[in-house]
Structure 1
Amino acid sequence: MTSVTSPLAGRVIGLSAVPDPVFSGAMVGPGTAIDPVREPSEAVAPVNGIVVSLHPHAFVVVDEEGRGVLTHLGIDTVQLGGEGFELLVSKGDTVQRGQAMVRWDPAAVEAAGKSPVSPVVALEATTESLSDVVEDGDVKAGQPLFSWK
């Protein structure tokens, strides 16, 4: 069982509310999404593991059971070309849950015309393999989002 915790503080809105059909249709995988607090913050690792993919706007951490969790900071934020994002780890690093991964400012993302809504997705998972999925309410970084069995 993998417990996935929130990489951000904000309001959980669920994947179906993400303003992007690839995420809202769970084409990337099941999970949930966070509408982050509009202040400069650090996105943290949602699980213990190895950073296998790292971009200014997104990262994947794979845990010891081989389960990859994607955190995507905002929608269409790749178009910002890394502007407003600061990487705090490197690809290949071993990280602990709650460790700062990327520093960013959701308000600046919004000011640039992009949604700061951030999907947190279980890669290569089925909807049935997730339980206790949080889809609404306020969340702090490090609080449980879902369990993956």
Structure 2
Amino acid sequence: MRSGHESVAVLSPLPGRCVELSRVPDPVFSQGLVGGGAAVEPDRDAGRLTAIAPLEGRVIKVMPHAYIVQHPSGAAVLVHVGIDTVNLKGEGFTVHAAKGDQVRAGDPMVEVDVALVRAKGLSACSPVVVLDTAPDAVTPSDVGSQVAAGAPLFDLPE
């Protein structure tokens, strides 16, 4: 048991396979330079998916390919949908949230055409990172196994 307060689960924004951050095909994420976390690799046959808010809080940034939700505790979680997807300049993405929105865990944030991302030669691997934490601050629960969108991915570090 934790002392005095309950842990906060960070939910998987997408369905797919839970991947260790160190295996993400981008050094900024794989080396934990932005923080600790995990990643989700959507299934090979994935088409259009809706990425959801990983926890409750306020949207502090939203772009077609990435968004940040800050929990009331102050922790901020970045969801980066795919690798190098900024280069698509919004193609294949539909944004459903706006900066300043209060969201609940599971609320729709952005829709992504995973098949289009992969057709453009990009990785759909999607890091979920607690910003400004140590690379080892987070222990993902189900590395290597399938996770549903909205299933717990890891707990916020204390």
Q: Mark yes or no: TM-score above 0.5.
A: yes
In 2, are the aligned partners of 1:33 and 1:135 still within 8 Å (CA)? no
Structure 2: how far apart are the matches of 1:76 and 1:138?
A: 23
Q: How far is 1:112 from its partner?
A: 0.8
Over the matched positions of the two proteins, sequence identity in percent amounts to 45
User: 1:117 and 1:129 mapped to 2: Cα distance?
Assistant: 20
- Aligned-pair distance for 1:142? 0.7
Partner amino acid for 2:22?
S
Match of residue 59, structure 1, among 67, 72, 86 = 67
2:21 aligned to which of 15, 28, 45: 15
Can you list the C-alpha shifts for 1:8-43, whole angstroms capped at 9, x where unaligned?
000111111111111111111110011013221100
Q: 69, 76, 91: which one pairs with 2:84? A: 76
Residue 105 (structure 2) pairs with residue 97 (structure 1): yes
User: Which residue does 1:24 correspond to in 2?
Assistant: 30
For 1:40-80, what per-residue CA distance to the aligned partner results, in whole angstroms no more than 9, with x for missing partners? 11000000000001000000000100110000000000000
Root-mean-square deviation (CA, aligned residues, Å) is 1.2
1:97: Cα distance to partner? 0.3
What's the TM-score once normalised by structure 1's chain length? Answer: 0.95
Contact 1:71 1:118 in 2 (8 A): yes
Query: 2:52 is matched with which residue: 40, 44, 57?
Result: 44
The answer on 1:134 being equivalent to 2:142 is yes
Alpha-carbon distance between aligned partners in 1 of 2:79 and 2:65, rounded to the nearest angstrom: 9
Whether the aligned pair in 2 keeps the contact of 1:10 and 1:35 (CA below 8 Å) is: yes
Contact persistence 1:39–1:107 (CA under 8 A):
yes
Aligned positions of 1:96-135 closer than 5 A: 96-127=104-135, 129-135=137-143
Distance in 1 (alpha carbons) for counterparts of 2:136 and 2:83? 25
| Cα distance change of structure 1 residues 35 and 128 upon mapping to structure 2, 3 Å threshold | closer
Gaps of 5+ in 2: 1-6
Partners in 2 of 1:136 and 1:47 — Cα distance? 22
* Structure 1: gaps spanning 5 or more residues: none
